Amino acid sequence: MTGLILSRLAQIAVMTVILSLCAFLLIGLMPGDPIEMAIAGDPRLTSEDAARLRELHGLDQPLMSRYFAWAGEVLRGNFGHSRLFAQPVAQLLWPALLSSLELLALAIGIAITLGVGLGALAAARPRLAPFVQGVALVAQATPSFWLGILLIILFAVQLGWLPAGGADAGWRFLVLPVATLAFANLAAYARHSAAALRAALEEPHIRTARAKGASEARVLARHALPNAAVPLLTIAALDAGAMVSGALITETVFARPGMGKLIYDAVMGNDFNLALLALLLVAVVTMLATLAADLAQRWLDPRIA
Amino acid sequence: MKVGLALLGLLALAALAAPLGGWWLGHDAFAPDLFNRFAPPSAEHPLGTDDLGRDVLLRLLHGARVSLTVGLAAALAATTIGTVIGLLAAWRGGWLDAVLMRLADGILALPALPLLVILAALDPAIIGLPRGEATADMVRIAGLLAAFGWVGVARLVRASALSLLARDFVRAARALGVSERSVLTRHVLPSLAAPIAIATALAVGGAVLAESVLSFLGLGIAPPAPSWGNMLANAQELVFQAPLAAFWPGLAIMLTVLACNLVADGISRLRR
């Protein structure tokens, strides 16, 4: 187990280095460095000033040595500043990450509850299975940003019940984004829990439980559901990347200040240090989440090698 | 399956018929008509007009050309790359297999969207592509999506190929002295048709969805060329003036993805 965790952590570290290197080089190859932006912003800068600034900031160095200098600072915990927000990057990243995690946790909780509920319905009442399958198919095919816009139009513009976007301390700002994201993630849980529960209900211990007179609800909840938990964790592990992607687009639609909006704003504002660090943070958190789901799965089912 | 195929056929037909639609309705999908903005649906404009007075139905049809072309191109490229890599990994085994599959695992574990956002924002000029042209945009987005899309296909192909390579008919072919190339192309590849078809169908849906997200964020197909995604981006700013403008492009995306998923489901059910 420890060996597995260590090798997976090493894999995550390698992926992070590769990702940062690729992103840094690609961004570095782009025409237009920060000094050229400064020149565009202040026409009085002479070419001597520009050359001096380039030297001062190390922008005259070759790309690889710039990468090593940047990576060294990041590893030492110095994330530098955001050009766009004129703030230390670390101060921007943490609140954004917390906001995204809040959104994700609520949405996944609701998606799992509703999805497993629908799956249980399909497994317990085979007549309703086609209905559940239909819901899952539609939920899977619905682009979440479109659903977000439709919800804004209905609840914010037409009915005026809820705010269209932004974020405040209030729960009212969370309702629409959470609903959007939960619906987007519902389908996988519904389909797989239905299949897993149907398989679990065939097992001999279920017959024993029924023979002992356990109610159908109790059989489903106490005897079949724990067996179906492992495949659900597999989905959670496999889908972590997709879920994070979904959270990011949802944030952009609802103008929620989180990691997604931060990355989008940073990319749009040519703030590449911020964009790069935010991307790396999201990637690392996603990979760690995948690892956590994998470990939980092994812990629940020791048969998985 | 039948519903999915019928839907896909209908969408493809709609994409092909886009110029015909312009001729039938007698106007141009690209020509603004500022005296006729936000027109309600009428015989002349079956779905009304947008913020520049352009016909919404015509733009949807032209958007289908762009979105479906990008989706198909990206999916085909991803499937080709994925099949080659998956087959290679299964056939060679050893360190090559390990490296390729760790790479695939790594890419799969990353959140694709923020990566795509950053990559799509890069200036296409650095790899020698012209900037801002619709065709160049389409090639760029399809290429980007294929660069991420091959992973799922490769894993699927590798798993199926591994079990095929251990089968008796492959061993028999090898024993008869069939060359390795022939074994792979004549004996293994045909048996992989079903998983590859499923992966392709899913990839088309995924690519259409991803293209629409990027275009929605303003990083994909740039206006004035219509794509379903950039029509939605426009629509979000107009929720007060034209709430329905957001409805149609999203519905088109949803139906496309739904059709692809149904086809993939149908193929996998056929195999059983």
- DSSP letters of B100-162? HHHHHHHHHHS-HHHHHHHHHHS-GGGGTPPSS-HHHHHHHHHHHHHHHHHHHHHHHHHHHHH
Say yes or no to pLDDT of B130 above 70: no
B218 contacts in A (CB within 8 Å)? 268
Name the pairing type of β-strands A81-82 and A87-88: antiparallel
pLDDT at B231: 81
Q: What is the pLDDT of residues B167-211, one digit of tens each?
A: 888 888 888 888 888 888 888 888 888 888 888 888 888 888 888
Say yes or no to pLDDT of A96 above 80: yes
pLDDT at B37: 64
pLDDT band at B79 (very low <50, low <70, confident <90, very high): very high
pLDDT at B133: 66
pLDDT at B21: 63
**In angstroms, what separates the C-alpha of B230 from chain A's closest C-alpha?**
12
What are φ and ψ of residue B132, in 5° steps? 75, 5
Residue of A25, A37, A146 to mutate when probing chain B, most B C-beta within 10 A: A146
A276 contacts in B (CB within 8 Å)? 118
Say yes or no to pLDDT of A166 above 70: no
Contact present, B189 and B255 (Cβ < 8 Å): no
Kindly report the average pLDDT of chain A as a whole number.
80
Q: Is residue B37 part of a domain?
A: no
Percent of chain A whose predicted confidence (pLDDT) is above 90? 0
pLDDT band at B77 (very low <50, low <70, confident <90, very high): very high
Residue of B8, B67, B103, B115 to mutate when probing chain A, most A C-beta within 10 A: B115
Segment B34-43 shows an average pLDDT of 64
**Would you call A259 an interface residue with chain B, using a CB distance cutoff of 8 Å?**
yes
Inter-helix orientation angle B193-216/B112-121, to 10°: 60
**Would you call B203 an interface residue with chain A, using a CB distance cutoff of 8 Å?**
no
Shortest CA distance from B256: residue in chain A = A141
Smallest CA-to-CA distance from B213 within A151, A265, A111, A252 is with A252
Contact present, B48 and B38 (Cβ < 8 Å): yes
Any idea which of B59-63, B121-125, B127-131, B260-264 has the lowest mean pLDDT? B127-131
pLDDT band at B39 (very low <50, low <70, confident <90, very high): low
**In angstroms, what separates the C-alpha of B106 from chain A's closest C-alpha?**
6
> For position B244, which CATH number holds?
1.10.3720.10
Say yes or no to pLDDT of A172 above 80: no
pLDDT at B35: 63
pLDDT band at B80 (very low <50, low <70, confident <90, very high): very high
Inter-chain Cβ pairs, chain A and chain B, closer than 8 A? 136
pLDDT at B125: 58
Segment B43-67 shows an average pLDDT of 71
**Cβ within 8 Å, pair B239-A152:** yes
**Would you call A282 an interface residue with chain B, using a CB distance cutoff of 8 Å?**
yes
What are φ and ψ of residue B55, in 5° steps? -70, 125
Spatial distance between the Cα atoms of A227 and A201, rounded to a whole number of angstroms: 9
* Pick from A30, A141, A282: CB nearest B122: A30
| Coil vs helix vs strand at A77 | coil
Domain total of chain B: 1
Q: Which helix (H) or strand (E) holds A82?
A: strand A81-82
Listed in order, the ranges of chain A carrying CATH 1.10.3720.10 are: 91-300
pLDDT at B126: 55
Residue showing tokens 């079990």: B163
pLDDT at B239: 67
* Pick from A138, A158, A267: CB nearest B121: A267
pLDDT at B42: 65
Residue showing tokens 């565009």: A40
Give A33 or B74, the one with higher predicted confidence: B74
Encoding tokens for residue B251?
A: 């519905």
Smallest CA-to-CA distance from B68 within B268, B257, B269 is with B257
Q: Can you give the residue range of the structural domain that contains B236?
A: 51-271
Q: Domain spanning A91-300: which CATH class is it, in words? A: mainly alpha
Q: Is residue B4 part of a domain?
A: no
**Cβ within 8 Å, pair A249-B239:** no
Say yes or no to pLDDT of A305 above 60: no
For chain A, what is the total number of helices (H) and then of strands (E)? 13, 2
Spatial distance between the Cα atoms of B86 and A180, rounded to a whole number of angstroms: 35
pLDDT band at A49 (very low <50, low <70, confident <90, very high): confident
Contact present, A263 and A100 (Cβ < 8 Å): no
Smallest CA-to-CA distance from B207 within B238, B176, B229 is with B229
Q: What is the pLDDT of residues B206-250, one digit of tens each?
A: 888 888 888 888 777 777 777 888 888 777 777 666 677 778 888
Contact present, A250 and A181 (Cβ < 8 Å): yes
Q: From the CB of residue A13, how many other CB atoms can be counted at a distance below 10 Å? A: 12
Q: Which residues, including other chains, have CB under 8 Å from residue A53's CB and lie 6 or more apart? A: A35, A38, A45, A59
Q: What is the pLDDT of residues A98-139, one digit of tens each?
A: 888 888 888 888 888 888 888 888 888 888 888 888 888 888
Encoding tokens for residue A7?
A: 């090798």
